[in-house]
A and B are shown apart, each in its own frame.
Chain A
Amino acid sequence: MATAKGKSVAAPPKKAARKIRVLVGKPGLDGHDRGAKIIARALRDAGVEVIYTGLHQTPEMIVSAAAQEDVDGIGLSILSGAHNYLFPRILQLLREKKMGDVVLFGGGIIPDDDIPKLLKKGVDRVFTPGTPIQQIVDYVNERIRPRK
């Protein structure tokens, strides 16, 4: 970029500093948030901005928070057995709000038989107990991209 002496040079277009933003929440009635907190912490350590919304969230609350925070992904921890209701309901609300590009994943006590059905409905990934944390972090880093 050679320039005549004294002529000012326009600054090169600034590289956008997008960060991955992920909402981690616990929908439903169970009160065991240790897993969710560990995931939140691991994602933070991997450079993700995690919006942690806490316990007892309804699907409506999760989608509303996801909209206001403009997240790229939603990670849910469900230990209550209500996953067959909660995941599809959240997917439905995301579509209604034109937020279909938000990646929904989750984990918890989810029977093997239910997992294919959830994936078919549009849940991107389901992690079962005993999954190494690093595997979840790698998944988030590979799968979830900050939006354009």
Chain B
Amino acid sequence: MTVVNAAGKEILAGNTRAAARLMRDLDDEIPAAIRTLKHLYRHTGHAYILGVTGAPGSGKSTLVNRITKHLRKRGKSVGVVAIDPTSPYSGGAILGDRIRMQEHTLDEGVFIKSLATRGHLGGLSRSTIDIVNVMDAMGKDIIIIETVGVGQDEVEVVKVAHTNLVLVVPGLGDDIQAIKAGILEIADIFVINKSDRDGADKAKREIETMVSMTSFMEGEWKPPVLSAVAATDDGTVELLKAVDRHREYIFQEGNLSRYRREKARVELVEILKTRLIEKAVSDLDAHGLLDPLLADMANKRKDPYSISEKVVNHSFAFHFLNGGKKKPIKGKGSPR
């Protein structure tokens, strides 16, 4: 796995068309694309990843457009992964985040990829991490992930991004919203967007109160609450300064390795989740066991808990990962 294949070489050389095609193939789960990504993975880990999340209409795309402009002024190359929801009824989607980013369309230093969630929950598409990895291998300095914007539960991005921005707009959340868990807990920086509107001060105070009620350890990052009007570019420079400060914090000894390990864990677990389920189901089917088991469950002769326990406990040949050495693995996977 030391040699990069042809498609991989094109991407490392900065061929955007090859990169675009690989991203599509990854989104469409084409096996050959995974082979290329295996080669590229070693070349990732250089980009700074910025997550932008917030409710629909909170101004994510507009803010991403502004941030991109300022980063370009600093001479940074930028990748944008913008995610919009897939219709659960038709499977289709309208991906409209480019509308706000038109000014960067012809800039060679900006690559924008629109993705549909395709049924994946958590604010990202299943392929988001793969596509971020491709942009990273392409050599983009900063990759911005704009989540789908459902609102309460987009916590997946937190593990992927170095810095997470959470947008809040006046008038959307009354008091109780500020104490809800989920999206508000993932913020490294809060942005009160559209802060020229009525209620902006109140929204800012509420978030500040919420932050002040959280206890932080000595030296731990405390999320600042900033005001901005992305539409007019007000507050974007301050926001980027806060991102710089958070970057310094993340790059401190200990924090960075923790971030990298946590991201590695998400990458591995996400892939395993899909692959193990696929393999388990198709193996059961290939052994002619799936249909009878389902029939037994339908008749209440068997329960799904016992079947699942048997399936996951039967064997994991982990010695293959240990350089081929056969060593018994201590501690069996215990049921939750």
The interface of chain A, by Cβ under 8 A from chain B, is 1, 3, 8-9, 11-14, 16-19, 21, 40-41, 43-54, 56-58, 60-61, 64-65, 67-70, 97-98, 146
Residue of A nearest to B33 (CB): A16
* CB<8 Å pairs between A and B, sample of 8: A14-B31, A19-B91, A41-B94, A44-B92, A64-B105, A69-B113, A97-B17, A146-B28
Does B16 count as interface, using CB distance less than 8 angstroms? Answer: yes
- Asked whether, in the complex, the Cβ of A67 is within 8 Å of the Cβ of B31, the reply is no
- Asked whether, in the complex, the Cβ of B116 is within 8 Å of the Cβ of A49, the reply is yes
User: For B92, B111, B114, which residue has the most chain A Cβ atoms within 10 angstroms?
Assistant: B92
Determine which of B24, B87, B96, B112 lies in contact with A45 in the assembled complex, contact meaning CB atoms within 8 Å.
B87
Does B310 count as interface, using CB distance less than 8 angstroms? Answer: no
Does B21 count as interface, using CB distance less than 8 angstroms? Answer: yes
A-B pairs, 5 with minimum CB distance: A54-B99, A44-B92, A70-B24, A9-B286, A61-B105
- Asked whether, in the complex, the Cβ of B283 is within 8 Å of the Cβ of A52, the reply is no
The interface of chain B, by Cβ under 8 A from chain A, is 16-17, 20-21, 23-24, 28-31, 86-87, 89-96, 98-99, 102, 105-106, 111-114, 116, 118, 278-279, 282-283, 286-287
- Asked whether, in the complex, the Cβ of A47 is within 8 Å of the Cβ of B92, the reply is yes
- Asked whether, in the complex, the Cβ of A60 is within 8 Å of the Cβ of B90, the reply is no
Q: A18-B30, A50-B95, A67-B20 are in contact. List 20 more A-B contacts (CB 8 A).
A: A11-B283, A13-B31, A14-B29, A17-B28, A44-B90, A44-B93, A45-B90, A45-B92, A46-B92, A49-B92, A49-B95, A50-B94, A53-B99, A58-B106, A61-B105, A64-B106, A68-B20, A68-B112, A70-B21, A70-B23
Report Cα–Cα, A52/B101, bound state, in Å: 12
Residue of B nearest to A13 (CB): B31
User: For B28, B91, B98, B99, which residue has the most chain A Cβ atoms within 10 angstroms?
Assistant: B98
Report Cα–Cα, A60/B107, bound state, in Å: 11
Chain A nearest Cβ from B246, distance in angstroms: 28
Q: Which residues of B contact A12 (CB under 8 A)?
A: 282, 286
Q: Which residues of A contact B116 (CB under 8 A)?
A: 19, 49
Q: Which residues of B contact A45 (CB under 8 A)?
A: 87, 89-90, 92
Report Cα–Cα, A56/B89, bound state, in Å: 31
Report Cα–Cα, A14/B111, bound state, in Å: 29
Report Cα–Cα, A98/B237, bound state, in Å: 40
- Asked whether, in the complex, the Cβ of A68 is within 8 Å of the Cβ of B92, the reply is no
Report Cα–Cα, A40/B94, bound state, in Å: 7
Determine which of B93, B94, B96, B279 lies in contact with A11 in the assembled complex, contact meaning CB atoms within 8 Å.
B279
Report Cα–Cα, A13/B30, bound state, in Å: 10
- Asked whether, in the complex, the Cβ of B92 is within 8 Å of the Cβ of A51, the reply is no
Chain A nearest Cβ from B321, distance in angstroms: 16
Q: Which residues of B contact A49 (CB under 8 A)?
A: 86, 92-93, 95, 116
Q: Which residues of B contact A69 (CB under 8 A)?
A: 20, 95, 113-114
Q: Which residues of A contact B86 (CB under 8 A)?
A: 49
Chain B nearest Cβ from A77, distance in angstroms: 14
Q: Which residues of A contact B23 (CB under 8 A)?
A: 70
Determine which of B90, B99, B279, B286 lies in contact with A52 in the assembled complex, contact meaning CB atoms within 8 Å.
B99
- Asked whether, in the complex, the Cβ of B90 is within 8 Å of the Cβ of A46, the reply is yes
Chain B nearest Cβ from A137, distance in angstroms: 10
- Asked whether, in the complex, the Cβ of A61 is within 8 Å of the Cβ of B102, the reply is yes
Determine which of B16, B91, B282, B287 lies in contact with A68 in the assembled complex, contact meaning CB atoms within 8 Å.
B16
- Asked whether, in the complex, the Cβ of B93 is within 8 Å of the Cβ of A53, the reply is no
Report Cα–Cα, A1/B288, bound state, in Å: 9
- Asked whether, in the complex, the Cβ of B98 is within 8 Å of the Cβ of A1, the reply is no
Given contacts A3-B286, A11-B283, A69-B20, A54 and B102 within 8 Å (CB-CB) = yes
- Asked whether, in the complex, the Cβ of B286 is within 8 Å of the Cβ of A50, the reply is no
Report Cα–Cα, A9/B285, bound state, in Å: 10
Q: Which residues of B contact A51 (CB under 8 A)?
A: 95, 98, 114
Residue of A nearest to B20 (CB): A70
Q: Which residues of B contact A60 (CB under 8 A)?
A: 106
Chain A nearest Cβ from B95, distance in angstroms: 5
Report Cα–Cα, A45/B283, bound state, in Å: 35
